[in-house]
Structures are given as structure tokens and as C-alpha cells.
């Protein structure tokens, strides 16, 4: 946090970009579509409003119809500040030099679920089987692909991947015998009906993984990154921020730990592969 203090004296003078008339263009705030759109915009509205008040600038919040189109907007520089999943966010950092200003307090773990007392006892038993998962750009799918490869199984060749709309749909596919395993984030598992959980066994649990990232693209006409970071952390420590942390499932934001973020290099090849496809 020391760097914030060192930069503070100049922030009020040079943090903002304005046109010739002195008017500031709206700040574009993007939110990855990990919730239904109406709920997503409602949940993130307190953060948007805090940005607007603290930065004294209009903030327009938008998303995209799906993860891939959101990531294309990120890589094309359409968002000034944005909230994104760890894998795609790390690609934006590595490939576009975007800045990680905050990281969700809540860490993630990914489960691979199979039928209880079923034939799948270890990961290698998934050879020739189908694994149900959610969008390929989610950390859930990226962990699944990485774990299969690390077990000597080639996704799409040795193991068929089936994309479902939600973790519940993926788990239900296992219960119905339509898939041998399902990838599921730990945050979703407790919300499954008891009768569904009773049919499932957790075959694999990932290590703790970084959660969502609050990021900014580098640009001369934007508020200084240190100021945006300061505003985010102040919001996270407020009563409104505590409510947001619960509603969003992110727990609020903290300063990023570079050592933790480097672990996301593991998912870069898969993220780049997905984004290279039409």
C-alpha cells in the first residue's frame, strides 16, 4: 500500500482524462456474465455507484451474452475497469499488459463429481467417458482440462467434454447416467438438492485457486491505477462492500499476491486455445 501513498499527491491533478471542453468520458465498467444478467447488474450496482461517487465520473456498467464474447471485449480494450474470472483475466494481463488491481477474498476449489458407488474410482477411469462441465472459459472447465491432461488423458480425444449451462445441469447429467463425471465449483455444490448430492461422490478436489480479479487496462485517460485500487479496497471494507461480498459470492477484494497469480500460468494454454477458435 506504500505505493498508493507515494502517488497520492499527484492523483487529483492528473488522474482523469477529459476532452477539450473539460468533460470526462464515461468510465466503462465490465462484469463477466457469471450470473443471470439482471441479477449480475443488481449485485454489482453498489460497486459501480461507489466508483462513480469516489472518482467523480459517470460509470457505465455492461457485460456480454457469454464468456467468450466478454473476453473478446476485454482483449479488444472495450472495458476500462472490469471484473473477470482468474484464467481469462490472467490472459489479459499476460497478453495485453492489463493490471490486476484486486482479487476476490474467496478462494475457489473445483470438484469432479461421479456417481456414488459407481465404476469411476480414479481419474484414469474416465478414459473413453464423458465429463460434463460449464463454459470452457470458466476456471471450472480450465481446471478440468488441466487435471485430465496431467492424468494422461487428452480432452476431446481420450475424454469427451460436454458443456452444460450450469453446474447443476452438469451434476444432473451424472445422476442421469448421461456423463461419467461433472466439474463443479465448490461454491455451487452446497446449493444442489440433497437428493442429488446423495447420488454423488467427490472424486477430485482441487487446491485453493485465486478467485475473480478486478482489473484495468492501462490508458492515459483513465484514473490512475493506484486510485482505482484504493477506491476498490475502501469499498470492500465498507458495510455496502460486505453486503456485496455476500451477494456476489466473492467475499470482497484484497490486494493481489503476485506469487498466487503466477499459478494461473497453468491455465494460459487452454484460455488461449479457446480464444483462438472462431
Domains and CATH numbers, the chain: 2-106+210-276 (3.40.190.10), 110-205 (3.40.190.10)
Write the CB contacts of 254 (distance below 8 Å, at least 6 apart in sequence). Answer: 102, 103, 105, 233, 236
Which residue did the predictor score with more confidence, 8 or 18? 18
- The single-letter DSSP state of residue 123 is G
All cell numbers assigned to 216: 484495468
Check pLDDT > 60 for residue 8: no
Least confident of 6-20, 57-71, 152-166, 262-276: 6-20
For residue 16, the model assigns a pLDDT of 44
Check pLDDT > 90 for residue 200: yes
Region at 251 (left for phi over 0; alpha for psi -120 to 50; beta for the rest):
left
Cα–Cα distance measured from residue 236 to residue 105, given in angstroms and rounded to the nearest whole number: 10
Provide the pLDDT confidence category of residue 163 given band limits of 50, 70 and 90: very high
Check pLDDT > 60 for residue 19: no
**pLDDT cut 70: percent of the chain above it:** 92
Please give the C-alpha separations between residue 271 and each of 79, 143, 148, in angstroms, as whole numbers.
Answer: 19, 11, 15
Q: What is the pLDDT of residues 99-150, one digit of tens each?
A: 999 999 999 999 999 999 899 999 999 999 999 999 999 999 999 999 999 9
Residue 100 DSSP SS3: strand
For residue 22, the model assigns a pLDDT of 56
- Compute how many other C-beta atoms are within 10 angstroms of the C-beta atom of residue 245: 18
Cα–Cα distance measured from residue 222 to residue 26, given in angstroms and rounded to the nearest whole number: 10
Mean pLDDT along residues 53-80: 97
Check pLDDT > 90 for residue 10: no
Provide the pLDDT confidence category of residue 278 given band limits of 50, 70 and 90: confident
For residue 72, the model assigns a pLDDT of 97
- Compute how many other C-beta atoms are within 10 angstroms of the C-beta atom of residue 168: 18
Amino acid at each position: 500500500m506504500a505505493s498508493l501513498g507515494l502517488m497520492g499527491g499527484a492523483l487529483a491533478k492528473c488522474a482523469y482524462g477529459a476532452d477539450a471542453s473539460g468533460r470526462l468520458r464515461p468510465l466503462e465498467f465490465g462484469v463477466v456474465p457469471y450470473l443471470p444478467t439482471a441479477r449480475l447488474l443488481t449485485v454489482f450496482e453498489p460497486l459501480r455507484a461507489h466508483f462513480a461517487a469516489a472518482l467523480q465520473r459517470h460509470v457505465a456498467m455492461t457485460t456480454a451474452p457469454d464468456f467468450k464474447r466478454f473476453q473478446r471485449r476485454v482483449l479488444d480494450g472495450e472495458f476500462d475497469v472490469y471484473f473477470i474470472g482468474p484464467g481469462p483475466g490472467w490472459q489479459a494481463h499476460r497478453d495485453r499488459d492489463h493490471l490486476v488491481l484486486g482479487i476476490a477474498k474467496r478462494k475457489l476449489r473445483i470438484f469432479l463429481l461421479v456417481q456414488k458407488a459407481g465404476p469411476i474410482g480414479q481419474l484414469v477411469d474416465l478414459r473413453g467417458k464423458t465429463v460434463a462441465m460449464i463454459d470452457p472459459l470458466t476456471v471450472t472447465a480450465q481446471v478440468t482440462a488441466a487435471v485430465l491432461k496431467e492424468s494422461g488423458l487428452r480432452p476431446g480425444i481420450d475424454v469427451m467434454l460436454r458443456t452444460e449451462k450450469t453446474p447443476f445441469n452438469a451434476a444432473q447429467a451424472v445422476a442421469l447416467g448421461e456423463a461419467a463425471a461433472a466439474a463443479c465449483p465448490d461454491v455451487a455444490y452446497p446449493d444442489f438438492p440433497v437428493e442429488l448430492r446423495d447420488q454423488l461422490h467427490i472424486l477430485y478436489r482441487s487446491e485453493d485457486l485465486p478467485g475473480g480479479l478486478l482489473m484495468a487496462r492501462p490508458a492515459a485517460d483513465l484514473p490512475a491505477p493506484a486510485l482505482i485500487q484504493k477506491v476498490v479496497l475502501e469499498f470492500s471494507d465498507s458495510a455496502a462492500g460486505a453486503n456485496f461480498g455476500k451477494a456476489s459470492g466473492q467475499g470482497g477484494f484484497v490486494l493481489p499476491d503476485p506469487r498466487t497469480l503466477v499459478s494461473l500460468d497453468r491455465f494460459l494454454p487452454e484460455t488461449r486455445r479457446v480464444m483462438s477458435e472462431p
